[in-house]
């Protein structure tokens, strides 16, 4: 999934659909008086935020073992962790409950929600088309910390998580201990830490000071990997299948729960989750 800023396109499409759902009862010329249209729009707004909160809480509950170790990450909604179906059901339940004594509001409110849902559904087509033609792992020549030349294509053959980072980037620093643990939780996946724009001395000193031990650290002094893959900021984490095809991307700090979710979707259905929860 591609991102707009720190948010996935899916989350952005939901937000735009919610805005449209609010606009329908608020500004379109319904046969209802202005105060009733305003009340209907306010109810849509309320239901949207309650549904969004429910969608987040359902996701956090599902991946609770990963969130409980780092409670701060529960608030990191940029990780894209939402259970949209649960959110929609709770939003509709909220509308039903709030209009039980004001049935006249139900039609404009449900009309707005229906338009928003249709807009969201129509947005899924372009998103699917965008995800059907993802970039592949570029054939770039980089180097290890000890100046050994390597090519990215050489890592094709097993699932690959590519993390683009820099020592000066605070979100990069925060997520790196989690990524270090993840390379042990997922032995079938290669975690490739590609530094953007710095030299071996700066990178080696940083890793040593932070006591981080990664199996695969590469130097990209001209940030060509980010340019080739369209990364618009740091950190960016990209997930490639064994054939070198991009299957998911995430810009911004990645949480352990979101990483596990993506890994289960694309890489493994084996015992990694159970191992982490024991």
Could you give all domains of the chain from N- to C-terminal order, each with its CATH number?
6-132 (no CATH), 141-277 (3.40.30.10)
Whether the CB-CB separation of 79 and 258 falls below 8 Å is answered with: yes
Helix axes 9-27, 106-132, angle to 10 degrees: 150
For residue 214, the model assigns a pLDDT of 97
Q: How many CB atoms lie within 10 A of CB 13?
A: 19
* pLDDT tens profile 60-114: 998 888 887 778 778 877 667 888 889 999 999 999 999 988 877 888 888 888 8
For residue 111, the model assigns a pLDDT of 86
For residue 7, the model assigns a pLDDT of 58
Q: Which residue has the higher pLDDT, 42 or 16?
A: 42
Q: Give residue 140's pLDDT band: very low, low, confident or very high (50, 70, 90).
A: very high
Residue in this structure with the two tokens 């500004």, named with its chain if needed: 27
Does residue 263 carry a pLDDT above 70? yes
For residue 162, the model assigns a pLDDT of 97
Whether the CB-CB separation of 91 and 55 falls below 8 Å is answered with: no
Q: Which residues contact 215 (CB under 8 A, 6 or more apart)?
A: 183, 190, 191
Whether the CB-CB separation of 242 and 156 falls below 8 Å is answered with: yes
Work out the mean pLDDT of the chain and round it to a whole number: 85
Does residue 149 carry a pLDDT above 80? yes
Does residue 5 carry a pLDDT above 50? no
Cβ burial of 220 (10 Å; 0-12, 13-18, 19+) is buried
Structure tokens at 120: 């969201």
Distance of CA 126 to the CA centre of its chain: 18
Residue in this structure with the two tokens 């618009």, named with its chain if needed: 232
For residue 273, the model assigns a pLDDT of 40
Q: Give residue 278's pLDDT band: very low, low, confident or very high (50, 70, 90).
A: very low
**By three-state DSSP, how is residue 233 classified?**
coil
Mean pLDDT, range 147-174, rounded to an integer: 95
What is the C-alpha separation between 131 and 245, in angstroms, rounded?
A: 11
Q: Which residue has the higher pLDDT, 248 or 217?
A: 217
Structure tokens at 10: 């899916």
CA angle 250, 182, 134 (to 5 degrees): 30
Structure tokens at 206: 């940083």
pTM confidence score? 0.71
Per DSSP, which regions of 172-212 are E strands?
190-196
C-alpha dist (Å) from residue 245 to 162, 180, 196, 266: 12, 23, 21, 11
Q: Which residue has the higher pLDDT, 17 or 155?
A: 155
Per DSSP, which regions of 175-225 are E strands?
190-196, 217-220
Region for residue 104 given its phi and psi (left: phi exceeds 0; alpha: psi -120 to 50; beta: otherwise): alpha
Least reliable range by pLDDT among 5-9, 70-74, 138-142: 5-9
Q: Which residues contact 193 (CB under 8 A, 6 or more apart)?
A: 163, 165, 176, 179, 214, 216, 217, 218
Cβ burial of 212 (10 Å; 0-12, 13-18, 19+) is middle
Beta 190-196 vs 160-165: how paired, if at all?
Answer: parallel
For residue 271, the model assigns a pLDDT of 37
């Amino acid at each position: 999934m591609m991102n707009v800023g720190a948010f996935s396109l899916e989350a952005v499409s939901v937000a735009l659909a919610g805005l449209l759902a609010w606009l329908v009862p608020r500004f379109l010329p319904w046969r209802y008086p202005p105060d009733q249209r305003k009340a209907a729009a306010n109810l849509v707004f309320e239901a949207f935020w309650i549904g969004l909160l429910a969608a987040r809480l359902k996701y956090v509950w599902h991946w609770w073992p990963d969130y409980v170790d780092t409670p701060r990450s529960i608030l990191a909604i940029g990780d894209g962790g939402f259970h949209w179906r649960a959110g929609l059901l709770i939003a509709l339940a909220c509308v039903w409950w709030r209009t039980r004594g004001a049935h006249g509001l139900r039609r404009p409110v449900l009309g707005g929600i229906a338009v928003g849902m249709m807009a969201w559904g129509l947005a899924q087509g372009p998103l699917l088309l965008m995800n059907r033609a993802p970039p592949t792992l570029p054939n770039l020549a980089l180097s290890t910390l000890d100046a050994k030349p390597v090519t990215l294509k050489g890592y094709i053959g097993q699932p690959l998580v590519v993390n683009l980072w820099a020592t000066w980037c605070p979100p990069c620093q925060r997520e790196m201990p989690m990524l270090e643990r993840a390379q042990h939780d997922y032995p079938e996946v290669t975690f490739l830490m590609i530094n953007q724009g710095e030299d071996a001395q700066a990178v080696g000193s940083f890793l040593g000071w932070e006591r981080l031990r990664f199996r695969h650290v590469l130097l990209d002094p001209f940030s060509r990997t980010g340019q080739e893959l369209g990364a618009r900021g740091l950190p960016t984490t990209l997930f490639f299948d064994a054939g070198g095809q991009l299957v998911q991307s995430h810009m911004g700090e990645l949480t352990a729960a979101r990483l596990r979710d993506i890994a289960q979707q694309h890489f493994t259905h084996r015992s990694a989750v159970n191992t982490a929860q024991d």
